[in-house]
Each structure stands twice: as structure tokens, then as C-alpha cells.
């Protein structure tokens, strides 16, 4: 009994991690073998990667995904931040109302959002697939940006804005020099959220874009005939890129925390 509990104690976290990461490791593993189906291991090979880099259609999709994610995240972050500042300065009852209305699309099923975009674009005769996808992405990102910026605004004191004006800022300069830097962590997490959601999206893009592929649409369309090995390679690469970014971000914040601690200790010892 004791042994069992000790075993569980030490292995529980390991099991959870294994559970979470096993599929991805299998995927990465199978990206290094060249087989038409994923069921059989056929020895080490970079064939999948060679095929991946030779396949032009993949890179069109990747380019679409990345440019749309960046543009949509930037535009949604700017629009959402100003919207949040506006909502924050409203009187209480209006603020609650508008805030709830802006949060509603987050719980709306993607399918509904996607189909309504399709109908809207068709109805007004807007045909550019790329722009359709971009506009759809900006729109579904907006509530998430507002959602990440609002709590930060609530924490921030109105006195900061007043202090800036007191020291000679016009309202606009007070906003850019004091209010926005103060809520920057919220803006950044809103941007990251928007970027991730956008690069991930399949359902809304599928209905809104009318034939222009992003990564997920491309993978879905060719996966219907069995998953070719270069898709494994693409997925593995995407995972590595995202994981690397995550590690860099985390290392940076750890470093900043350490610096702050060192400074604080210096201060105390004085």
C-alpha cells in the first residue's frame, strides 16, 4: 500500500504529461519516416520534409495563415483596446450592457459565426476570399481582446490618467504615455490570444473564405484522401516553432523576475 501511494505520488504528474504529449511525440516521430499510411514504421527518413518543402500549395496556405493571423491580431488589438477604454469610461449601467454585448460572440458556436459570415459576404456580393477571411478573423478576435484588456483597466487607477493631465498631458497624450503603458500586459495577452485563435481557426475560415486556404483548410482538404507524410512534417514543424516561442517568452519573464528580485534584495540590504 505504501509502495503504491509512493509510486502514485511520483508518477502522477508524469502520467498526466505523458497523456498530454504522447500524441504529439508520435506525430513528430512519424514525420521522420516515409510511409503513405501512419500505421507502419518504415525506417528513418527525411522524405516527408523533402516533400513538404517541394509542395507549393502548403506554403501558400502557411503564408495565408501567418499573414492573416498577424494582420488580424494587430488590427483587433488596436480596435479592441480603444473599445475597452471607451467601455471602461462609460457610466455603470451602460458599461455593463455594452460589455456583455461585446462578450456574447465568444460563446456563439463557430459554426454559426462562420455561416453567418458566409451569408453576409454573399448577400453584399463581397468576393475577395482573402479579405473575407481577414475581416472574419478580425471580427471574431475583437471580443477576446476586449476581454483581456478590461480586467487590466479595472485594476488601473483613473488617478493615473488624472496625474498625467496634472503634469501637463493633453487627454490624448495622457492616453498614449500613461494609460496604454499601464494596461500593456493586458494588451499583449490580448494580442497573443488573438494570434493563436486566428492561426488555429478552421470552422469560421472554411465558411467565410470561399476557397482561399489557410493551413487548417489545406490539411483538411487533402486529409480526406488519407494523411500524406508531409502533413506530419508540417505539424511537427508548427509544434516546434510554437514551443520555441513559448520557451523564449517564459525565459524572458523568469529573467525579469530574477532581476527584480535582485534589485529588491539590494534595496533591503541598504
Partner 1 sequence: MESNHLIELENITKEYSGDKALDNINLYIRNGEFLTLLGPSGCGKTTMLRIIAGFTMPSEGKVYMDDKEVTHVPPYKRRVNTVFQKYALFMHLNVFDNVAFGLKLKKMSKKEITNRVENILELVNLKGYEKRWVEQLSGGQQQRVAIARALVNDPEVLLLDEPLSALDKKLRKGMQVELKRMQQAVGITFIYVTHDQEEALTMSDTIVVMNEGKIQQIGTPADIYNEPKNQFVAQFIGESNIIEGIMLQDYMVSFKGNVYECVDKGFERNELVDLVIRPEDVDIVPLGSAPLSGVITNVIFMGVHYAITVNCNEFSLMVHTTDLVPVGEHVSVQILPDAIHVMKKPKEVSEFEIVMDEEKE
Binding-site ranges for partner 1 (CB under 8 A): 157, 159-160, 162-170, 173, 177-178, 181-182, 184, 260, 263-264, 267
Do 139 and 104 meet the contact criterion of CB atoms below 8 Å apart?
Answer: no
- Nearer to partner 1 by Cβ, of 99 and 182: the residue is 182
Query: What sign does the dihedral 85-142-58-42 (CA atoms) show?
Result: positive
- Residue with cell string 528580485: 261
CB 156 → partner 1: shortest distance, Å?
A: 9
- Nearer to partner 1 by Cβ, of 190 and 213: the residue is 190
Cell reading at 46: 527525411
CB 169 → partner 1: shortest distance, Å?
A: 6
What percent of the residues of the chain are helix, what percent strand, and what percent coil, each to the nearest 5? Answer: 85, 0, 15
CB 174 → partner 1: shortest distance, Å?
A: 8
Cell reading at 195: 494570434
- Nearer to partner 1 by Cβ, of 162 and 200: the residue is 162
- Nearer to partner 1 by Cβ, of 36 and 265: the residue is 265
Q: Is 115 helix (H, G, I), strand (E, B) or coil?
A: helix
Instruction: Report the distance separating Cα 38 and Cα 29, nearest Å.
Output: 10
- Nearer to partner 1 by Cβ, of 108 and 158: the residue is 158
Do 136 and 77 meet the contact criterion of CB atoms below 8 Å apart?
Answer: no
CB 75 → partner 1: shortest distance, Å?
A: 24
CB 165 → partner 1: shortest distance, Å?
A: 5
Q: Is 258 helix (H, G, I), strand (E, B) or coil?
A: helix
Amino acid at each position: 500500500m505504501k509502495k503504491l501511494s509512493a509510486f502514485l505520488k511520483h508518477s502522477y504528474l508524469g502520467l498526466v504529461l505523458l497523456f498530454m504529449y504522447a500524441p504529439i511525440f508520435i506525430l513528430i516521430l512519424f514525420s521522420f519516416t516515409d510511409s503513405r499510411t501512419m500505421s507502419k514504421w518504415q525506417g528513418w527518413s527525411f522524405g516527408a520534409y523533402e516533400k513538404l518543402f517541394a509542395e507549393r500549395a502548403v506554403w501558400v496556405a502557411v503564408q495565408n495563415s501567418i499573414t492573416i493571423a498577424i494582420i488580424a491580431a494587430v488590427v483587433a488589438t488596436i480596435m479592441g483596446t480603444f473599445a475597452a477604454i471607451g467601455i471602461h469610461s462609460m457610466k455603470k449601467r451602460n458599461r455593463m450592457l455594452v460589455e456583455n454585448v461585446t462578450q456574447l460572440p465568444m460563446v456563439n458556436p463557430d459554426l454559426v459565426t462562420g455561416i453567418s459570415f458566409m451569408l453576409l459576404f454573399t448577400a453584399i456580393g463581397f468576393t475577395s476570399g482573402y479579405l473575407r477571411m481577414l475581416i472574419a478573423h478580425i471580427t471574431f478576435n475583437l471580443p477576446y481582446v476586449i476581454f483581456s484588456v478590461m480586467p487590466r483597466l479595472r485594476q488601473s487607477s483613473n488617478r493615473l490618467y488624472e496625474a498625467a493631465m496634472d503634469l501637463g498631458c493633453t487627454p490624448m497624450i495622457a492616453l498614449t504615455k500613461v494609460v496604454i503603458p499601464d494596461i500593456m500586459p493586458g494588451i499583449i495577452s490580448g494580442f497573443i490570444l488573438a494570434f493563436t485563435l486566428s492561426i488555429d481557426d478552421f470552422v469560421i475560415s472554411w465558411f467565410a473564405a470561399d476557397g482561399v486556404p489557410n493551413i487548417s483548410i489545406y490539411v483538411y482538404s487533402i486529409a480526406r484522401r488519407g494523411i500524406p507524410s508531409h502533413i506530419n512534417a508540417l505539424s511537427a514543424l508548427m509544434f516546434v516553432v510554437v514551443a520555441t516561442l513559448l520557451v523564449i517568452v517564459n525565459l524572458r519573464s523568469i529573467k525579469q523576475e530574477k532581476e527584480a528580485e535582485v534589485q529588491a534584495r539590494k534595496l533591503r540590504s541598504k
